[in-house]
Structure 1
Amino acid sequence: MYFKKTTYKLYFLLCFIFGFSIQSASSQMLIGKPTFSFTQVCASDGFNTYSTTFNFNPTSALEASNQFSVELSDPNGDFSNANTITTLYTSAPGEIMTSPTTVNFSFPETIAGENYALRIRSSAPNITSNASNTFAAYYKLHNSPFTINNMVPTVTFCAGGSYLLTIDNPGSGNNDSPLNYPSLSFKWYKETGPTTSIYVADGPSLSVVEAGTYFVETDYGSCSSNSFSNRVAVDVANSGQVQTSITASLGSVFCPVQGANTLSTSSGNSYKWYKNDIEIIGATSQSYDTTESGVYSVEVNYGGCSAIASIEIESQMFDAEINVDQENILEEDESLYVSISSTANSPEYSWYLNGVQISAMTQDSYDIDIAGNYKVVVTETDGCAASIDFYFKIIKDYDLFPDVDNIPNLISPNNDHINDTWVLPTKYISGTNTQITIYSNRGEIVYQTNEYLNSWPEEDLNLKSVNQVYYYVITTSNNEVKKGSITIIK
């Protein structure tokens, strides 16, 4: 009995000493403060790989299952709230057994602050290092120029009022608006010189109350980026009229083949546009599109005050004329002399008949004796490199009552003056007291006359199929009867 009690006491003593030894070894392991070579973090989609180095001692204190983690504080360098700590890296069990060691990691897209810190944690034993030195860290979700005020560079508001500048979302063209990223914040600046500016406010918009040139940047703290806006010059108008400006999207001298030249002025309550001092009816928007030369003016009303601006626009488009009508009828043996005159530099001419280019015709004039639909393209090859198209038609005059031998069973009413109507032999037309009756494929009478003038169909038949069939009955004065079908080619 005495031996058994002594054995139990010895067993508990050994367990206590063993447990104390483990705890003592654990408490003696230390993890040094993590270090790194970067001074700030400016991460982006194009670069987000960073590293930190740390020491731990003794290495013998590590258990085989141990994992090291790199933890990120909140933006103020605080680790006291577990919900605001982010784990950037965790090693595999037993992966790191030597000291010092360096690990790589990436930052989350949500980082935005000037005082982040790192610390290292081990799992077995459960030890945490001191916090690292603090550093600024931002993830540049948006990193390209964007627009404000719809790219209108100048605005005016009445004295005593204000003007709201806003980031465009989405804006015009291919504008990449940072408002697509709700987590971002913005800082507005006012220029104080060609290369200097002062901070004025935060937010996606700015209520301007004094004249100046303003712009906004996405707030990435001490990190530089390409996420900034265009400049907008804001003027304050006193009572009466003040001078503002007009901008031209293609410049004051432009080539119309680029498209319309968009004239824009500052934002106001209402607008009136003028060309050569004559009001342009219906031009009451902030911008006006034109392809013509002239002196353009705009009157902008701001509510209690107004502004007037003018700009002279020169269109480099050449002038050209053709000497024939759009439709020309020729007698059987006649020809038509067609001539093009233009102010184009080094012009080239392309002629087309029924949509097919006539390779032999490259001059500015021709005698034409072939019926058809024509197009002439005049191209300026030196300067604006623009083109003007002319269209005209030549129709050969023909006998409305030709002496044909047979009754046709096929017509194509497409207004090309070739087989457009149902032309009968002269013994059946007007003056012969012959009755002409035409039926639809349903047996309905669609045409009937005793004075046929080779004119059917006289109007659009509203064909329901590509090749629609009609039926005819021709009854002469002596009761001779002819029957058959007519196919209409659509």
Structure 2
Amino acid sequence: MRNFTLFYIVVFFVLSLNETTHAQIVISKPSFKAIITQACASSSFNNFDVTFAFSPESNLESSNQFIVELSDENGSFSNPTIIYTSNPGAVTTSPVEFSFSLPTTTAGEAYRMRAKSTAPASISGSSNAFPAYYKIHDTDFSINNLIETAVYCSGGSYLLAIDDINKFSGNSPLQYPSLTYKWYKETSQTTSVFVSEGNTLSVNQPGTYFVETNYGSCTSDSVSNRVTVSEASSGSTSSINSSLGNPYCSTDGPTVLSAINANGYQWFKDGEVISGATNQMYETNESGEYAVNIDLGDCMTSATINIDNTGFTSSIDVDDVNNIDENETLIATLTTSANNPEFKWYLNDTMINGATNNSYEVSETGNYKVVVTQTTGCNASTEFAFIVREAFPNVEKIPNLISPNGDGVNDTWVIPQNYVSGTNTEVLLISSQGKIALRTKNYQNNWPENQIAFGSINPVYYYIITTSDGKTKKGSITVVR
């Protein structure tokens, strides 16, 4: 009787073990369908395809669900994120394929995935580790108020910082407290080296620096502008940023000029001190050359910017003063970025009939100007003035009076052609104090080229003209306003 009972116990155990073995499945570790080594997501892309296999299919129960979990950044599943759950009984064949999106908090180098079943209960091994980041900020951002250069005193340093308000379009990465940053120093136009981490960088070595949002193995498009930092020396300069750009449209309101971080400031316009303008920023809606003296504590530096409020750029290909020979012409051409530009040319303040193109062929001497107007967008104008005069007019006598007042008449000392450039004649001018003002064998009928200072009496100069055969002419020149 004991043997018979033992037989039934053994048979029951074998049948139970067979039934338990039959109910199990084996699940392979999940993997990405595409051959990728990292998951880099952003607002414009966040979809990843994953697959895993299981067997045997016949062991699945009708209530089974498959669940796929994502570990933390260190590969731990102590508090996993579920990235996929199938409906009960919906998946009956292998392999299983699904898509998922990274949580916006994802940031790390060693994430893993694993798959689980509920009926029967089974769990896969964890996937290979992979970097994964959701790039919550992935556009350009500004540092140093978008100022391209900075200066530090010898033995000191300069602090570069990410701007709270992005000077480019978009928001500042500082709005996302979870982000971290890596600073780099350029070693060439295409290479750089890592120097530090953090929101700021204290620089005490010359070089060009920039910072990226730290997305580990994923490529970051969240990159700052470059700033070139140098050690202060005699005549060292920085730069100024205009909040509306340069040129800007005055109808959009004033622009804000910004200088680098420092202890103190003094702003200038066209060489004149701007009273009360002693802050890091200065607001203006006027064109002109602006400068700022910058107190760095142990040393000084300066910066300048030539502001144009027309909203477009223009240039002309002739000099302020141009010489042409008799029967010669001069073609002046204006280049501009203005939208639908309109051109008007003037001679001696009288508009030239029919001259409405960007080029004009000058055949007469006189005072010229061209006005270009942008007719679409920012409605603004700018003008260029220039003088055209006869190169070596055929005068008979050496003049003893000139009036360099910019009116185009008798502005320079014009002498007969047999004494000017090409005749190997030496022209010597001496001031009443005995100083040499001019000495040349290539006289261009262009003296004085620089402004002459007037005192209580009109300046007098003495000339000695010596021809190639040794003959001389002597006399005086009185300069009047």
Secondary structure at the counterpart of residue 127 of structure 1:
strand
Equivalent residues of 2:265, 2:279 under 8 A apart: yes
Equivalent residues of 2:146, 2:241 under 8 A apart: no
Q: Of the candidates 31, 41, 48, which is equivalent to residue 35 of structure 1?
A: 31
Taking the aligned partners of 1:88 and 1:186, their CA distance within structure 2 comes to 28
Rg larger in structure? 1
Q: Of the candidates 10, 17, 22, which is equivalent to residue 20 of structure 1?
A: 17
Structure 1 counterpart of 2:253, one-letter code: G
My pick for the range that moved more, 290-299 or 11-20, is 11-20
Secondary structure at the counterpart of residue 31 of structure 2:
coil
Stretches of structure 2 that go unaligned for 5 or more consecutive residues are 312-341, 345-372, 382-481
- Report the equivalent of 1:67: 65
- Give 1:284 shift: 0.9
Structure 2 counterpart of 1:55, one-letter code: A
Stretches of structure 1 that go unaligned for 5 or more consecutive residues are 318-343, 347-379, 388-490
Question: 1:381 and 1:141, CA in 2 relative to 1: closer, same or farther beyond 3 A?
Answer: closer
Equivalent residues of 1:156, 1:268 under 8 A apart: no
Q: Of the candidates 254, 257, 262, which is equivalent to residue 263 of structure 1?
A: 257
Taking the aligned partners of 2:165 and 2:260, their CA distance within structure 1 comes to 20
- Give 1:45 shift: 2.6
Structure 2 counterpart of 1:168, one-letter code: D
- Give 1:92 shift: 1.6
Taking the aligned partners of 2:169 and 2:47, their CA distance within structure 1 comes to 30
- Give 1:254 shift: 5.5
TM-score normalised by L of structure 1 = 0.58
1:89-120 residue CA offsets vs partner (Å, 9 max, x unmatched):
11122221212221222222222122222221
Taking the aligned partners of 2:230 and 2:17, their CA distance within structure 1 comes to 79
Equivalent residues of 1:145, 1:176 under 8 A apart: no
Question: 1:105 and 1:258, CA in 2 relative to 1: closer, same or farther beyond 3 A?
Answer: closer
Q: Of the candidates 49, 53, 56, which is equivalent to residue 55 of structure 1?
A: 53
- Give 1:316 shift: 5.5
Q: Of the candidates 194, 201, 221, which is equivalent to residue 199 of structure 1?
A: 194
- Give 1:15 shift: 4.7
- Give 1:222 shift: 2.3
Secondary structure at the counterpart of residue 102 of structure 1:
strand
Taking the aligned partners of 1:54 and 1:381, their CA distance within structure 2 comes to 64
Q: Of the candidates 134, 148, 151, which is equivalent to residue 139 of structure 1?
A: 134
Question: 1:175 and 1:305, CA in 2 relative to 1: closer, same or farther beyond 3 A?
Answer: farther
1:198-252 residue CA offsets vs partner (Å, 9 max, x unmatched):
11112222222222222211111222242222222222225x6522233445666
Taking the aligned partners of 1:285 and 1:245, their CA distance within structure 2 comes to 15
- Report the equivalent of 1:162: 157
1:249-271 residue CA offsets vs partner (Å, 9 max, x unmatched):
56666653343344332221110
1:373-406 residue CA offsets vs partner (Å, 9 max, x unmatched):
xxxxxxx77597249xxxxxxxxxxxxxxxxxxx
The answer to whether the aligner puts 1:277 opposite 2:271 as a matched pair is yes
- Give 1:162 shift: 2.1
1:251-304 residue CA offsets vs partner (Å, 9 max, x unmatched):
666653343344332221110112233211011122323333443321100001
Question: 1:292 and 1:86, CA in 2 relative to 1: closer, same or farther beyond 3 A?
Answer: closer
- Report the equivalent of 1:435: none
Question: 1:38 and 1:108, CA in 2 relative to 1: closer, same or farther beyond 3 A?
Answer: farther
Structure 1 counterpart of 2:280, one-letter code: Q
Question: 1:253 and 1:48, CA in 2 relative to 1: closer, same or farther beyond 3 A?
Answer: closer
Equivalent residues of 2:140, 2:168 under 8 A apart: no
Taking the aligned partners of 1:309 and 1:138, their CA distance within structure 2 comes to 41
Equivalent residues of 1:115, 1:135 under 8 A apart: yes
Taking the aligned partners of 1:97 and 1:253, their CA distance within structure 2 comes to 67
Q: Of the candidates 94, 116, 139, which is equivalent to residue 111 of structure 2?
A: 116
Equivalent residues of 1:41, 1:138 under 8 A apart: yes
Q: Of the candidates 130, 145, 152, which is equivalent to residue 150 of structure 1?
A: 145
Which residues of 2 match residues 181-220 of structure 1 at below 5 A? 181-220=176-215
Secondary structure at the counterpart of residue 291 of structure 2:
strand
The answer to whether the aligner puts 1:286 opposite 2:280 as a matched pair is yes
Question: 1:30 and 1:173, CA in 2 relative to 1: closer, same or farther beyond 3 A?
Answer: closer
1:134-161 residue CA offsets vs partner (Å, 9 max, x unmatched):
2221111112222222223222222222
Secondary structure at the counterpart of residue 16 of structure 2:
helix
Secondary structure at the counterpart of residue 242 of structure 1:
coil
- Report the equivalent of 2:90: 95
Secondary structure at the counterpart of residue 243 of structure 1:
coil
- Report the equivalent of 1:460: none
Structure 2 counterpart of 1:44, one-letter code: S
Structure 1 counterpart of 2:289, one-letter code: V
Question: 1:153 and 1:57, CA in 2 relative to 1: closer, same or farther beyond 3 A?
Answer: same
Secondary structure at the counterpart of residue 136 of structure 1:
strand
Question: 1:293 and 1:178, CA in 2 relative to 1: closer, same or farther beyond 3 A?
Answer: closer
Taking the aligned partners of 2:240 and 2:287, their CA distance within structure 1 comes to 15
Taking the aligned partners of 1:276 and 1:232, their CA distance within structure 2 comes to 27
- Report the equivalent of 1:127: 122
Q: Of the candidates 201, 215, 231, which is equivalent to residue 226 of structure 2?
A: 231
Question: 1:33 and 1:310, CA in 2 relative to 1: closer, same or farther beyond 3 A?
Answer: closer
Taking the aligned partners of 2:97 and 2:310, their CA distance within structure 1 comes to 66
Aligned residues: 322
Equivalent residues of 1:154, 1:265 under 8 A apart: no
Taking the aligned partners of 1:48 and 1:382, their CA distance within structure 2 comes to 45
TM-score normalised by L of structure 2 = 0.59
Equivalent residues of 2:151, 2:237 under 8 A apart: no
Taking the aligned partners of 1:123 and 1:192, their CA distance within structure 2 comes to 56
Give the superposed CA RMSD.
3.3
Taking the aligned partners of 2:86 and 2:14, their CA distance within structure 1 comes to 32
Question: 1:199 and 1:300, CA in 2 relative to 1: closer, same or farther beyond 3 A?
Answer: same
Question: 1:34 and 1:291, CA in 2 relative to 1: closer, same or farther beyond 3 A?
Answer: closer
Taking the aligned partners of 1:104 and 1:251, their CA distance within structure 2 comes to 45
